[in-house]
Structure 1
Amino acid sequence: MSWMILTLVSALMLGLYDVAKKVSVRGNAVPMVLLVSVSVSAIIWTVMLLVQTFLPSIKFPRLLEVDAIDGIEHLALAAKAVLVGASWILAFFSLKNLPLSIAAPIRATSPLWTLFIAIVFLTERPAPLQWIGIAVVLGSFWALSLVGAKEGIRFRTDRAVWWMIVATVLGACSSVYDKLLLQEFGLRPATVQAWFSVYLVPVMVPLALRWYRVQQHGAPEKQIRFELRTSVLLISPLLLSADMAYFSALADPDALISIVSPLRRSSVVVALIFGSRMAGEVNIFHKAACVLGILTGIVLLMI
């Protein structure tokens, strides 16, 4: 059952990743948080790429080996960077304005949107149990909106909520696109991660330059200072660790995707614990019930 332990490690790292993002953007300049965090990831992968290219005698684990790719594959990975970059920009701005215990459960509904995309564009047809899962997730999402209303968060009109929903939908599109990259292009996970991490940096630069111009020439009330916190530097390593544990779990021939995917989404529990213990957020028990419903629905979707 090592694959299950790896999945739980991935969930823990993913939860800590969400916490690091929330701590990083609180009262901080989101464009610079994004640029610095993706730059850390790009540096990590660039070092590994250089070592594998110029020092082939140094052996990396198979999971971290990056294959040589052609121009078309580079363009495909650059497109993924644009897609993921748009999702992260919306998610980070949303996270700055929403309680973590609201934002994380919304993000956890990603498998639902992935299924919707598969239904519309890939002509997949859900089984009856999956339709029940859809109903459970949507019902839990509606219940979460009622809990949010108690804190003055109106899901229909709150821009930060819609930013997170769109970010989640874009993330689901990225998951479907990953299937194309891994199966149709035949790329390995490390190759996808390495190059899209490198291409994410130029995607984030324009937003950071705009922030810089505002700091230099904008009105004082629009200026937001950037503080380089330890949490900013931890964002990418935590995500990298979560993804490596996830792919390692999937590499096990005994691993069941119907268990791995929903179990990994239990990362939202870490967000709830953080929200209740460290951020002083309220209505945690009601939110926990909504999260339990979302996770139950996701399990049904994956069966």
Structure 2
Amino acid sequence: MLLTINHAYALELELNQKVFTPNDKLVIFGTSVPKDSLIISLFNPTGNLIYRTQLDVGANGEFASILLRWPEPDEDKFRVGTYTLIVTSSINPDSSVSEALVYQLQAEKQVKDTSMQIEKRLDLDLSIPSTANIDKEIPILAHVSLNDAPLIGLEAIEANVIYPDNRVLTINNFTAIGDGLYETRFTSNITGYHTIILNVKHQELSISKASIVDVVREAQNDQLQELATKIDSLNIKITNDTNNINNNVNTIKESINDMTSAIGQLTSLLLPIVGMIAIIVALQATILAKRNK
């Protein structure tokens, strides 16, 4: 069951008609808090704000105003299509109403304004983190729009959180944090995949969205961080060892080259000495041979 968002004061809005053509007047009237100041915003079919004004409410709680006279359609602001009019109370910002209206060419007007059925479209975007820590707050953010315009003064919004053990938590204490933005939070004391189903209702429209968040122990994140640190340290050690090995190989190559050069020099020095020894031995042999004769 959806929880209806109650407003402290009733804000009622009526239009002089639902379908407009060029040169028609857009007239609004209704009731609100006495001496309230209403913020009136008009969004075109592309969702762009094309008109905003402020209207004071009388001491009797009633208001009425001619907002504009519809010009000829163009490709910028005043396009043919469905517009959204939003009226918000300054005294009670949570009190807001919206109306959809149609702007079209005269040739397209085939039925009475009072019987024209205006198509309304409710859109919902659900944002939650894919992973969260156990026993930590998990945010749920809903962006709601009506005919591409931010929906202010949403009638009802509810989230059902299905835990891994099939328990269901119903959350309806959403807070409006911006135009069409509503937020709430929850915590979980068990790990696993949690399914969040968000239900939104406004006037006769309703829409639902679902998403999943994986709740994990914070220690797992610490272990993963520790493992990543160890891997980084190991990579650094491997790199340093590789550099040391390369340096040692270069040192050995240089030593071999030095030894080869020294051996060459030693050989150059020994060759004359060996030659002289050979000559001396030959002379001694000759002398010994002569003495024996």
Pick the TM interval, shorter chain.
under 0.3
Instruction: Report 1 or 2 for greater relative contact order, CA contacts < 8 Å, sequence distance ≥ 6.
Output: 1
Choose between structure 1 and 2: higher strand proportion.
2
TM-score (norm 2): 0.21
